[in-house]
Each structure stands twice: as C-alpha cells, then as structure tokens.
Structure 1
C-alpha cells in the first residue's frame, strides 16, 4: 500500500512540476522536482531532463548537470530525435560551457551509436536466420524437415514481391498434420514498406500462441498500398500464401484458422463472410467490423464456423460502443459470431506484459477447441 501511495504521489508531483515549468515558474518546479526525484523507480529520463531545465533556470547548474547525467544513464538520447533537440534546446544554453555538458553529449552519442550497431547486427542475424530456415516443397504430401522458428517466403502479385513469415513450433512433426493460424497484423496503413527485415516482429504475441497450441503460424506482411483495408489484391493473396505453405509444411487442411489484430481483424470479417472458404474458424482482436472494399455479409457468419472477436471497453482507436452496436444489430443472423469483452487494456491490450498473453491463451483455447 505504501508503494502504491508513493507512486500516485509521484505522478501528482510530476504533474505539478510540469505545470510550473509551463508557466516558467522555474524555481517552484525545481522545488517540486527535488521532492519527487528523491526515491522513486518511476523516474523516466524525460523527468530528469525536465528537472534539469528547472534547476539551471533557478541558478543551480550543478544539480542540473547531475540530473542530466542520470537522464543519460536512464536512456536519454537513445531515440533518434533526442540529441539534435537537446543540443538546440535554449533552456539549457547556460550549461554549454561546462565540461560536464560536453561529457553528457558525448556519452549520449556513444550510447546511440552502440545501440544502432547492435540493431544492425541483430537485423543481419534475423535476416540470415529467416532466409536459411526457408525450405523447398517435396511434393506428393511429403515434407522436408524444417528448423523450428521463423522462415521467410514471398509471393508475387503483379510486379510486387510480398513477404510472409512462417513460424514452426518446436513440437511440429512433419509426419503429422498440424493446425495452422493465419494472422493478419494491424498497423499497416501508415507503412511505406513491408517490415519483414525488422527482428522485433519475432516478439509478436501470436507466435507464443503457436508454440503453446502446436500450431504453425503464417504471418503475411502488409503496407499502406497493399494491406488489409481497401486493397482486394492483398486479401486474395492470402489464398496464394496458404497454397504455398501447404506445399512446404504438413498443414492440417481441415484445421486452418484466420484472423488478425485491428485492421487485420477487420479483414477477417471479409474472409468469414465469403460463400465458400477454406478455414475452420476466424478471430478478430480490437477490430471494427466495417470493411472499405464491400459490405460485410453477416448472414454468412452462420456456416458452422466459429468467429471469435474480443474488444476492450477503453479502446481509443475503435470505440467499443460502436463495435457492440454492430454486434447487437447483426447477431441474430451472424450466429457463429462470439463477441467477447475485456474491461481495460486499450486497443493494444495483447501487448501488455503477462496480461495480454493470458487473455490470448484463454481466447485461442476456446476458439481452437471448437
């Protein structure tokens, strides 16, 4: 209880200090920061930075430089835009003649350079792994043995080479037909390029679901002009992707599920509402059931193929009440649609540590058992 009370008090103090800074009441802000920053694990590098501004403008340059040093240790300068902004910040010009200032800037630049080198190395290792893990089809429903983990493949749509990942769980047996999940990720509407070179995609929660339920996970990449919003060619390419995967891996053809997150989940409604589809079930996470390419045929969500969706009440991207209204309006005909709700978590609740995975485990446990 003491820790919770202190955390709440810290947030209140930081809010008051920020308000004083906005009013250029630097000495008042400085006094508040001195109290707030004494002992708290909640301090961010940007809290220390703001505190340093208050200190130097209240004529305590020594304290300002000390807080800047702590901000650097906490990670200030690791964001690409941090260092140029800090070097030009007129609020800190008084500190530029100090040796400690030059050391502070130097340490930030080195940390940023080291971070970028690590990122490049990690990206190179990632690309090498996913290329090496890609295997060739054997034919006649016989399959080569793959490495577990990620492999990268491509389809060709007109002149575009479209990448997709296949995740193979450690328990995969090439001699046994294996359930498969096709996952359409969200957040592609602002992407100029496919992001298959980014190793951070390995942390997507859906891959832990594949591991837990011994399911192959197929993860197509999209971008703003080839994604899950208004580009029908991207939708239809999913069938080509699946055709290729079924040639390379022992997919249980009667046990393939499709769905996605955000606009990827919205796209799942299109696949589910086709008159004939090859999927056993569908899912949508934080999705709005409203397509741009055509109207959803909700009456076709009654073909004996479960469609599970889940939304948080505090979603700030797709308002929960709007999604609920569509469900209530169509549930009499969309008999396969199972609508689930969580109280909090926002649009990206699946990315919350521990809690997100727990929700997904339960969600997919229900869907995959149908």
Structure 2
C-alpha cells in the first residue's frame, strides 16, 4: 500500500511540473501584455531550472532567451543561449537558434556579442560533426570497410572470403552518419537499429525518403526528429520486425526526385552502412511519402539492383529526370498506398497503372484508402497500411541472378540491372519492334480551389514524359548460354557470378542471334576486389565482366 502511495505521489509530482512548464511556455508566447507575461513566464522557467534541471530541454532554455529578448535584457538572453552550449543536449537543434533569430532574437542580434556567439555555435557544430565522422570512420575500419584481402592472391578464395565476412562491430541503436555529395557538400542521415540488432546476424534495412524535397534543407547534422511526426509508425513496426530504418536528408538541389545530382545518395549511404553494419544484401528496401514515394519509384525504374522491393504512400509514379520505363519493374515489386482524395496523383490514374502493369506482367500493387487526403500519414488510420507493408516486406527477397532480364535506359549512369549493363547507347539506330514506349492517358485530376475544397477537373494528358531516345536489352541465360537482344545499344557488359554458371565450363554469349563470346569464366581477383568496393555487396559478388562492343 505504501509503494502504491509513493507511486501516486510521484505521478502527481510529475504532472504538477509538466503543468508548470506548460504555463511558463504559454506566458512567454502570450499575445497580450507580452512583456509582462514574458517576465512571468521567464521567472517560472528559472524556478523550474533550479528545481528540476533534468526536465529542462533545449526549447525551455531557448524560451528563456526568447523571453529575455522580449523584455530587452541581452545579458540574460546570452546567458541562457550560452547555457544551451554547455548542457548535455548542446549538439541538438543549434541551427534553430539562427533559423528563428530574426523573429525571436532581434534585440540580441543588435548586440556586439551576437557575432561572437554565432562563431561559438559554428565551432560547436563543427566539433560535433567531426566527432560523428570520426566515429563513423572508426566503425568502418572495424567492420567490412577495414577488411584487407592483400594476402589472398587467389580470386576464388577472395570471392569466398567476401561472401563469408561477418566480423562487424557493436554499435549503438542510434547512428548519425555522413556521406560526401561532392567536393564541397556533405549530406547526413540518421539510422535506427532495433534493440535486437545482432552484428553477427544479417538484418533487413528500409530507407524512408521524405517528401517536400523542394522545401527541405540539409541540416548541419542529423537527429532523431527524422523518425517522428508522420514517420512515427515506422519506428514501431521496424522495432517489432527487427528492421533497420535509415532516414536520409535532402534539399531541392540534392534529392531522389528532381535532377540527378543527388539521385545516387541513397545507394551511397547504403554502401557506407554496409561497411560497418551487418545488412542482409538481399533484404534492402525503400519507401517514402509524396516526393519520397516518387523517389522510391524512381529507384525502382532507374537503379533497383541493390534492393529487394519498393514501397510508397501517396506516390506520383513518374520519373522527372528522363523516361519512365515501366517494363524495368520486371524484377522488383512496388507496394503502393493511395487515397481517394489525393491531388498528387489521381486515383483513377492509379487504377489505370495497375491494369497496365497487370497486362505487362509487372508487380505494381495499389492499396486504396478512402476518405483521406494527400497528407494521409498525419492520420492514425495510416498505421494499418504501414503495418501491412512491413508484413509484405518480410516475404520479399532479392534475386540478383534472375534467368531473364529486361532493361531500358536513356542515361548510361543508370544502365545497370543485376548482371547486365548498357554501357553506351546508339540512338541513331531504329528501335526494334519489341522496344516500344509504354504509357497511358490521364483524363481527370483533383485539385483544391480558392475555398480549399477538393475539386475534379477534366484533362487529357499522358502519364509519363520521354524527353530522350532510349536503348533497351532483353536477355536470358541457361546452362552457361546467354542470349541477348538489343535495341539502340552500342556497348554492353555481362557480369558473371558462380551462382549463375558452371565455372569449369565455357560460357557462350549470343547477341541478336550471333555468337559474340565463348570462353571459360575466371575468378578475376583484381576485378572482384575493385568491383566489390563499389557497393560492398556480399551477395552479388561478380567475378568477371565480359564487355561487348556491338
């Protein structure tokens, strides 16, 4: 009974302080009698800082500085801003101080101390960045990224050593990582490992790509806010299903949808993570909402080789940087979650796409939820389809060695699918009869009028654009014999794996009915190592590349 009374008292105690924080916040941001209320709120915060310092967050200190700015006390304002730099959460949200400085710290900015404070924050951020980068580099050296194979001169031994590697370091459940986008810009990402992560066991991994890429900014460093808000259900079901979640950052110049400058960032992050996290190479997935879902779809039709499957919520299934080659979906699936009140891509257009995909034998599945707008993740009802997508994810497995392939591209940077790569196009050639454009017509779209009411308008437009001429290949193999048909291809490569062929027998490659190559495959040690380090993929390890000039 005594224990129950103590628990009740502790609960009341916590609730009492939570109420005080709420009141203090309300006073600081009061829109009437603002200066007097800001003083009252400030005094409440200061008392709470003494009484329960462990409950004081970054934003509480921020509020005290904000209040001091209101009643024109720069000394007090800078005192609390400097406290932010001293406390345990000093690395989190520091950029927010400058993001809202113009509206929240206008008096403090007039002080000669502002510039010195700003420089101090920048130094703190740089120190924190360097700490995270050094930790990442240390983990990479302790894992696959630090593996040395100089003693293995035999290609077959090297191949087996790569496939057998499992010596990964133990790491925390929260990982803050960095990659280089170019010589002057770093991008960053946040990784959430499940509590049951075991570095000795391969783990499934799911990328979540955010939407609204035109309005994003790449922060100085990642933080856990990337898994909150509209992404809240992913954290829960990833934990339940032992799936690693990865949240990349983006901006309007570098993203997975607009332009090609940042398109490779997802696979670059994957390459980095594979050097220190034990990832199941055959169970890597991508998902997202809105522009992020479109990014997931773009990966599917432009560069799917590293992935087992793709998901998207409120997707616009379209490539903005070139042709949308639907038949490239022949080896992977797309699990789409749509709503009937979505303006981003019309529901009836999704229905048309499903019918077309079915006709072509492609695995595009649409799961419709009625009564919800484009911002479906905001609603609790979005939990159900997210849960279902994790169920689907458990059944998907990548096959990097399919017996049949089709691939089409208008850009050789995205010319590779599993064991085949288009290295050079020849668009002066006429297309083969089987190389046909696939498209459909959209007849209506939804939009919001000036009264913010959802309306439908009649249109007559094609779903996809094809701004450039493309090249295509159809290929298959069986019993060491490869048969390839090409259209507008000048050069291609066939990648060989012992999982595909009998290494002790010659392989034959026929292109457009003509025997172009016949030779016994080898374990090319230098090629194996060089090509492996492009992806750090332990399952799809290629032992030889056969280049064919047509």
Structure 1 length as normaliser, TM-score? 0.65
Residue matched to 1:41:
none
**Unaligned regions of 5+ residues in structure 2, if any?**
1-21, 47-55, 64-83, 94-127, 148-164, 397-550
Q: Secondary structure at the match of 2:293?
A: helix
What is the alpha-carbon distance in structure 2 between the residues aligned to residue 324 and residue 122 of structure 1?
Answer: 52
The partner residue of 1:188 within 213, 217, 220 is 213
Trace 1:35-114 onto structure 2 (pairs within 5 A). Answer: 73=23, 86=31, 103-104=36-37, 106-107=39-40
What is the alpha-carbon distance in structure 2 between the residues aligned to residue 319 and residue 123 of structure 1?
Answer: 44
Residue matched to 1:117:
61
Residue matched to 1:230:
258
Tell me how far 1:313 sits from its aligned partner.
1.5
1:306 aligned onto 2:333:
yes
Paired residues in the alignment total: 280
Trace 1:1-370 onto structure 2 (pairs within 5 A). Answer: 73=23, 86=31, 103-104=36-37, 106-107=39-40, 115-117=59-61, 124=90, 126=92, 131=132, 134=136, 136-137=139-140, 138-139=143-144, 140=147, 141=165, 142-194=167-219, 196-197=221-222, 199-203=224-228, 204-205=231-232, 206-274=234-302, 277-303=305-331, 305-333=332-360, 335-353=362-380, 355-370=381-396
CA gap of 1:246–1:364, structure 2 versus 1, over 3 A, is same
What is the alpha-carbon distance in structure 2 between the residues aligned to residue 75 and residue 344 of structure 1?
Answer: 36
CA gap of 1:143–1:318, structure 2 versus 1, over 3 A, is same
Residue matched to 1:27:
none
Structure 2 length as normaliser, TM-score? 0.45
Residue matched to 1:51:
none
CA gap of 1:123–1:333, structure 2 versus 1, over 3 A, is farther
Pick the structure with more strand per residue. Answer: 2
Q: Secondary structure at the match of 1:226?
A: coil
Tell me how far 1:179 sits from its aligned partner.
1.0
What is the alpha-carbon distance in structure 1 between the residues aligned to residue 37 and residue 25 of structure 2?
Answer: 12
Q: Secondary structure at the match of 2:273?
A: helix
Residue matched to 2:454:
none
Tell me how far 1:266 sits from its aligned partner.
0.5
Residue matched to 2:109:
none
Residue matched to 2:524:
none
Tell me how far 1:143 sits from its aligned partner.
0.8
What is the alpha-carbon distance in structure 1 between the residues aligned to residue 325 and residue 88 of structure 2?
Answer: 44
What is the alpha-carbon distance in structure 2 between the residues aligned to residue 191 and residue 164 of structure 1?
Answer: 14
CA gap of 1:123–1:74, structure 2 versus 1, over 3 A, is closer
CA gap of 1:112–1:347, structure 2 versus 1, over 3 A, is farther
Is contact 2:187–2:218 with CA below 8 Å preserved after alignment?
no
Is contact 1:314–1:343 with CA below 8 Å preserved after alignment?
yes
Is contact 2:257–2:298 with CA below 8 Å preserved after alignment?
no
Tell me how far 1:187 sits from its aligned partner.
2.2
Q: Deviations over 1:319-353 (max 9, x none)?
A: 43344344444442261111111113432323434
What is the alpha-carbon distance in structure 1 between the residues aligned to residue 42 and residue 355 of structure 2?
Answer: 55
